Chains A and B, each alone.
Chain A
Amino acid sequence: MTNRIKLHSGISRRGLLGLGLGVAAAPALTACGGVSTSGADGGEGAVNFLSTQFTQVEERQRFEKILGARVSSPKVAFNPVDAPTFATTVKSQLDAGKVQLSLLGGLHGDLAPHAERLTDLGDVLGSLGDRGFSSDLTDLAKLSGDTTRYVPWMQATYVLAVNKKALEWLPSGADVQKLTYDQLLSWMTSARQANGNKPVFGFPAGPKGLYHRFFQGFLLPSFTGGQITTFRGRDAAVAWDYMKQLWAQTVPASTNYDSMQEPLQRGEVLVAWDHVARLRDAPGDKPDDWLMVPAPRGPRGLGYMLVVAGLAIPEGAPEADKAKEVIKALTTGEVQADVLRENAFFPVTGAEIPADLPGAVKLEAGAVKAQQEADGAIVSLPPVGVGARDGEVGQIFKNVFKEVCLDGKPVQGVLDAQATQLNAILDELKVPCWRPDPGDNPCRVV
């Protein structure tokens, strides 16, 4: 008599073991696929260009097309990666002294932690005098030092996208181009009531959404005039109380939205705030049905965040001279206009905004201009000099949102607790404050 259960098809213990090993190995093997972070292989003599921008496939393809058409010599191998990968790649290559990258492209905050690892680009910027960079941007490019660490590449901000269907509920006397936060709230409240109690306002509060930038650069500066120093003041409590009320009028699925263009396109959301690059596809082929308007204004003014991207060359870059050629090419009026047309990042130079923009970008260009030129505009920056801690600083604002709006905890208690956390991070960093906070050193919550 055998002591083995004979299954119908006769699975023996050995067969079972084999099967077990096989299935155990499968997930391990599928996890082996890696991503090249040292630069897409451009071959000998190519400029390896590592970027935190244009990581989405379509954006990447559009940018590579621009590179191909406008920067044919030297050859550029464009390799977009996410910010953490960018940070570790740059750090490890430079600290190990084996630099394969010749050109870095990233947001101000991506480049700032590597200030000491970037070559002085003063000569390049000097030779680009005809480009018409604003002094705001060139000052920023010095990364709080005296030398120019990057050349401004492109800029962006955040605006409100409005489907014209929502205009019928706009409160009387409110100008959609010059909204206040109170008007936005009453508009969204009446829109919800008129829409069968279904909210129409959306907010990119998904895992990869940029909603913390709304608190850092829009809501808090508009209500408090600051971002960090005023974090737990009375004005900040008012701002968060407002946010709680606005959230009550927001589509609950917002916590799953990483980018607002898809829900806007699907009609799940009629009014949304997001990064211009993440609103670009919302109007699709019907730009006439849409408006893009500046962010609302609060008691202290119209707070808005400026997103600046720059081009830098790491110390010891193998193709530094060719990389400088690429920088010069990318700051020409034609390329700046191409990038705006294709990927909705705005020129940093005095380049003319072309007339033949796609509908959505044209709408955005108007909103961005109106936002920049609004009286009482309060420009703020994403955290400067916090380096790899940017995620943690942003998370503090997300935590306040979670506890106040999602969990319904009392505002002041949450602000006090999170202010302690924020100060703990800032005390380690010891960096000066960034706009709109006064440049106190070190930056702390008061």
Chain B
Amino acid sequence: MPRRRARVPAAVLLIAPSLVVMTALFAWPLLVGVSQAFSGPDGPTTSYVERMLDDPYFWPAVRNTALLVVVLVPLQFAFALTMALLLRERPRFAGVHFFIWVIPLAISDLAAGLVWLSVFADRGYLNSTLDRLGLDGYAWLSYENTTSMFLTVVVAELWRSTSLVLVIVVAGLQGIPKDYDEAAEVFGASYWQRLRHVVLPQLRPSLQVALILRTILALETFAVAQALTGRNLPLLVGETYEWYNVLQNPNVASAIALVVLAVSMLAAIGYLRLLRDRTVAR
């Protein structure tokens, strides 16, 4: 009997290109980033991390970023799910609705930020409209009004990136067989019961992807906030940019970037565990 030649398993061959790409484009920069954050001219040091922690902008940035994720992500999911379920009812011109809702996805972050800046600026569209209605304008983006600054960023981000969740949820909905839903309807389940027990559980994988994506992207909110509020409402990625580009200190910038990375990874792991499909494990 001829001996089988030892072969590289197909799985290894298939995974090899992505391994190479991941190493070159992710693992290597990650290593460089870590070493940049922890090594100074005289060898290993934690001084850059200390600089980061002592910076008067760092903790406000952490707080604002966390608050943004907590407020933004649930709102976006509520909107996106509602919109997707509306589309599922096949209204007239559903395609047009869908198309219009997805337009913000095609606009770059910075452009979206500038558009919203023209709305909320002291002499922007909103204040002009208020003025025309005989009401006093409000300094939405003044450093004194942290709440309104925060809200403008939430509104702009909501407008800009809810459609990403929508696209994922609509795709997920299309993958769900109608049979279950119709069977439930035959047995007299109400709309809410069907939604809760039939549609949403099957949508879980899509929701998981969307949640991870959106949380990480919300942690990375940058251009929109930068255009609207500059450094008046510090956010983590904005601080990275500030340290790297304006203050020309890549070491501290790396340290902040590592914080973003760590939080993103924790969030992703958390969602994967939280939304685990327990029926499979049983």
CB within 8 Å of B: which residues of A?
A: 1-11, 13, 16-17, 19-20, 22-24, 26-27, 30-31, 84, 87, 206-207, 252-253, 255-256, 388-392, 395, 399, 402-403, 406-407, 417, 420-421, 424, 428
B88 touches A13 (CB 8 A): no
List, in ascending order, chain B residues with CB within 8 A of A399's CB: 55-57
**What are the interface flags for B30-50 relative to A under an 8 Å C-beta threshold, 1 for contact and 0 otherwise?**
000000000001000001000
In the bound complex, CA of A10 to CA of B165 (Å): 20
B230 touches A253 (CB 8 A): no
Of the listed stretches B19-27, B166-174, B270-278, chain A binds B166-174
B175 contacts A by Cβ under 8 Å: yes
In the bound complex, CA of A253 to CA of B230 (Å): 13
In the bound complex, CA of A207 to CA of B246 (Å): 10
**What are the interface flags for B125-140 relative to A under an 8 Å C-beta threshold, 1 for contact and 0 otherwise?**
0000000000000010
In the bound complex, CA of A2 to CA of B246 (Å): 56
Please give the distance in Å from B258's CB to the nearest CB on chain A. Answer: 19
Of the listed stretches B5-13, B66-74, B92-100, chain A binds B92-100
List, in ascending order, chain A residues with CB within 8 A of B231's CB: 207
A392 touches B248 (CB 8 A): yes
B171 touches A252 (CB 8 A): no
List, in ascending order, chain A residues with CB within 8 A of B41's CB: 428
Give which listed residue, B139, B167, B178, B230, contacts A252 with CB less than 8 A.
B139
A16 touches B167 (CB 8 A): yes
Asked whether A7 and B143 contact (CB < 8 A) given A23-B105, A207-B230, the answer is no
Give which listed residue, B95, B167, B170, B174, contacts A8 with CB less than 8 A.
B95
Please give the distance in Å from A18's CB to the nearest CB on chain B. Answer: 11
List, in ascending order, chain B residues with CB within 8 A of A395's CB: 246-247
Known: A7-B90, A27-B109. 14 other contacts (CB 8 A): A1-B179, A3-B178, A4-B174, A5-B88, A8-B95, A13-B174, A16-B171, A16-B174, A22-B106, A23-B102, A27-B106, A389-B249, A391-B246, A417-B54
**8 residue pairs bridging A and B, Cβ less than 8 Å apart:** A3-B177, A5-B170, A5-B174, A8-B95, A13-B171, A13-B175, A23-B106, A256-B122
List, in ascending order, chain B residues with CB within 8 A of A206's CB: 230
A403 touches B56 (CB 8 A): yes
In the bound complex, CA of A349 to CA of B122 (Å): 44
A421 touches B142 (CB 8 A): no
List, in ascending order, chain B residues with CB within 8 A of A19's CB: 102, 167
B109 touches A7 (CB 8 A): no
Nearest A-chain residue to B50, judged by Cβ? A424
A5 touches B108 (CB 8 A): no
List, in ascending order, chain A residues with CB within 8 A of B102's CB: 19, 23
Nearest B-chain residue to A16, judged by Cβ? B171
Asked whether A421 and B177 contact (CB < 8 A) given A8-B91, A392-B248, the answer is no
Give which listed residue, A16, A252, A391, contacts B143 with CB less than 8 A.
A252
In the bound complex, CA of A26 to CA of B105 (Å): 9
B197 contacts A by Cβ under 8 Å: no
A6 touches B90 (CB 8 A): yes
In the bound complex, CA of A10 to CA of B174 (Å): 12
Give which listed residue, B95, B178, B246, contacts A9 with CB less than 8 A.
B95
List, in ascending order, chain B residues with CB within 8 A of A207's CB: 230-231
Please give the distance in Å from A24's CB to the nearest CB on chain B. Answer: 8
Please give the distance in Å from A412's CB to the nearest CB on chain B. Answer: 16
Nearest B-chain residue to A205, judged by Cβ? B143
Main secondary structure of the interface of A (DSSP, over half): helix
Asked whether A8 and B230 contact (CB < 8 A) given A1-B178, A392-B248, the answer is no
B175 touches A3 (CB 8 A): yes
List, in ascending order, chain A residues with CB within 8 A of B247's CB: 391-392, 395
List, in ascending order, chain A residues with CB within 8 A of B93's CB: 8-9
Asked whether A421 and B54 contact (CB < 8 A) given A26-B108, A252-B142, the answer is yes
Nearest B-chain residue to A400, judged by Cβ? B56
CB within 8 Å of A: which residues of B?
A: 41, 47, 51, 54-57, 87-88, 90-96, 98, 102, 105-109, 111, 122, 139, 141-144, 167, 170-171, 173-179, 230-232, 245-249
B122 touches A255 (CB 8 A): no
Asked whether A7 and B249 contact (CB < 8 A) given A16-B167, A399-B56, the answer is no
B246 touches A7 (CB 8 A): no
Give which listed residue, B95, B111, B142, B249, contacts A253 with CB less than 8 A.
B142
Please give the distance in Å from A84's CB to the nearest CB on chain B. Answer: 6
List, in ascending order, chain B residues with CB within 8 A of A388's CB: 248
B174 touches A84 (CB 8 A): no
Nearest B-chain residue to A268, judged by Cβ? B122
Nearest B-chain residue to A393, judged by Cβ? B247
Give which listed residue, A17, A30, A392, A402, contacts B108 with CB less than 8 A.
A30
Give which listed residue, A13, A20, A87, contacts B248 with CB less than 8 A.
A87
List, in ascending order, chain B residues with CB within 8 A of A255's CB: 142-143, 232
Nearest A-chain residue to B122, judged by Cβ? A253
List, in ascending order, chain A residues with CB within 8 A of B98's CB: 7, 11
In the bound complex, CA of A364 to CA of B202 (Å): 72
B170 touches A16 (CB 8 A): yes
| Interface hub of A5, A11, A17, A390 (most chain B Cβ within 10 A) | A5
List, in ascending order, chain A residues with CB within 8 A of B88's CB: 5
In the bound complex, CA of A417 to CA of B54 (Å): 8
Please give the distance in Å from B238's CB to the nearest CB on chain A. Answer: 11
List, in ascending order, chain A residues with CB within 8 A of B230's CB: 206-207, 256
Asked whether A9 and B143 contact (CB < 8 A) given A23-B102, A84-B246, A403-B56, the answer is no
In the bound complex, CA of A11 to CA of B170 (Å): 10
List, in ascending order, chain B residues with CB within 8 A of A24's CB: 105
Please give the distance in Å from B225's CB to the nearest CB on chain A. Answer: 12
B248 touches A84 (CB 8 A): yes
Nearest B-chain residue to A83, judged by Cβ? B248
List, in ascending order, chain B residues with CB within 8 A of A26's CB: 106-108
A9 touches B47 (CB 8 A): no
List, in ascending order, chain A residues with CB within 8 A of B57's CB: 399
Please give the distance in Å from A319's CB to the nearest CB on chain B. Answer: 29
Please give the distance in Å from B93's CB to the nearest CB on chain A. Answer: 6
In the bound complex, CA of A8 to CA of B87 (Å): 9
List, in ascending order, chain B residues with CB within 8 A of A31's CB: 108
In the bound complex, CA of A106 to CA of B201 (Å): 63
In the bound complex, CA of A424 to CA of B102 (Å): 49
List, in ascending order, chain A residues with CB within 8 A of B91's CB: 8
Please give the distance in Å from A408's CB to the nearest CB on chain B. Answer: 12
In the bound complex, CA of A18 to CA of B256 (Å): 35
A9 touches B96 (CB 8 A): yes
Nearest A-chain residue to B182, judged by Cβ? A1
Please give the distance in Å from B6's CB to the nearest CB on chain A. Answer: 40
Please give the distance in Å from A250's CB to the nearest CB on chain B. Answer: 12
